[in-house]
Amino acid sequence: MKTVNIGILGLGTVGGGTYEILDMNRELIEKRIGREIKVAKVLEKNTERLKALGLPEERATQDPDDILKSPDIDIVVEALGGIEPSTTFMLTAMENGKSVVTPNKAAVAANFAKLKKTAEENNVEFRFEASVGGGIPALTAITEALAGNEFTEVMGILNGTTNYILTRMTDLGLDYDEVLKDAQAKGFAEADPTADVEGIDVANKLSILMALAFDTYVPPEEIPTTGISKITMDDIHAAKEKGCRIKLIAQAKRDGDHLNYSVKPMEIPDSHPLAGVSNEFNAIYVTGNAVDEVMFYGKGAGALPTGSAIVGDILAIAKNL
């Protein structure tokens, strides 16, 4: 059986979750794709993380080139987060003939065209399903199963941390700071949660969704964005009195040749399906001129749900190697 060698950059929440799934479902994966998927090298200096996952220390390196330029690595999983050095690492990997998988929405949204072009030029694959909606396979659906549609609208709840905070504030009356700490402890929040609570993370995800659904790239910093850091219990009570819940909503809608887009907290009526999307769950509504309305729902953050999307991308690439 052919062995496909993986290099993982970063064994944090998502890199660790990816390793865990490959280990937990090893036999099933081998049976499904007829390949052994081996995590041959990881870029990680925290030996506690290696131990916790049962990874031998000799498989770890602190030199990215041991993965990016190694002739033994077939696929690189970039799970470091942040725009740089992640983008440079991904480009180097592709220039060295490796396919790349990433959950890194900030890097994908900032450098969408360059990353796609470099993959094409080097005849490798670049997949980023986990960058939007965690474990929800919405990007693959938009680019494959729904590819025959002209899309008119994309709308959704795209951040697990803020949805978790708003849900706990609304349902349990808990304090904002306390719930944010809880979301960090559960591995939902970014290293710097400003990106979550100020809506920047959602703007990155909406930028990626628009590039795929509307073939229109809008840099995330050009998307009008308001986060949830100024939402108070008074706002939440006022919404409740109107039969609504406050949700952080990303929306992009085609109006003729024009595209309107925004990220902002909105009062969603209790009867609307998005009002029932709670905690770290995400939901993505897509309207196409053939399929009409489709809604995707699932866990938008966390080690295993996000790892699930990464492993799906790895297997899609590995099958064709």
Shortest approach of ligand HSE to residue 52 CB, angstroms? 20
- Nearer to ligand HSE among residue 288 and residue 300 (C-beta): 300
- Nearer to ligand HSE among residue 188 and residue 285 (C-beta): 188
Residues near 163 by beta carbon (within 8 Å), at least 6 away in sequence: 157, 247, 248, 277, 278, 279, 280, 281, 282, 300
Shortest approach of ligand HSE to residue 167 CB, angstroms? 12
Shortest approach of ligand HSE to residue 181 CB, angstroms? 14
User: Annotated catalytic residue: which of 105, 205, 247, 299?
Assistant: 205
Strand-pair partners of 286: 154, 294
Say if residue 186 is exposed, middle or buried (CB neighbours under 10 Å; 0-12, 13-18, 19+): middle
Shortest approach of ligand HSE to residue 7 CB, angstroms? 22
Shortest approach of ligand HSE to residue 112 CB, angstroms? 16
Binding positions for ligand HSE, rule: CB under 6 A: 134, 159-161, 188-190, 196, 201, 300-301
Cα–Cα distance, 196 to 224 (Å, whole number): 15
* Contact between 206 and 158 (Cβ < 8 Å): yes
- Nearer to ligand HSE among residue 44 and residue 196 (C-beta): 196
Cα–Cα distance, 11 to 16 (Å, whole number): 5
- Nearer to ligand HSE among residue 161 and residue 287 (C-beta): 161
Cβ neighbours around 16 below 10 Å, total: 24
Q: At what angle do helices 303-320 and 13-24 cross, to 10 degrees?
A: 60
Which parts of the chain are beta strand (E)?
A: 2-9, 35-43, 60-61, 75-78, 99-101, 126-127, 151-157, 244-255, 258-269, 281-288, 292-299
- Nearer to ligand HSE among residue 64 and residue 199 (C-beta): 199
- Nearer to ligand HSE among residue 118 and residue 279 (C-beta): 279
Shortest approach of ligand HSE to residue 30 CB, angstroms? 29
In DSSP notation, 258-296 reads EEEEEEEEEEEETTSGGGG--TTEEEEEEEETTTEEEEE
CA dihedral 205, 210, 213, 214 (to 10 degrees): 180
Cα–Cα distance, 187 to 197 (Å, whole number): 15
> Does the annotation mark 205 as catalytic?
yes
- Nearer to ligand HSE among residue 124 and residue 189 (C-beta): 189
Cα–Cα distance, 168 to 163 (Å, whole number): 9
Q: At what angle do helices 26-33 and 13-24 cross, to 10 degrees?
A: 70
Shortest approach of ligand HSE to residue 133 CB, angstroms? 8
Active-site residues, by number, are: 205
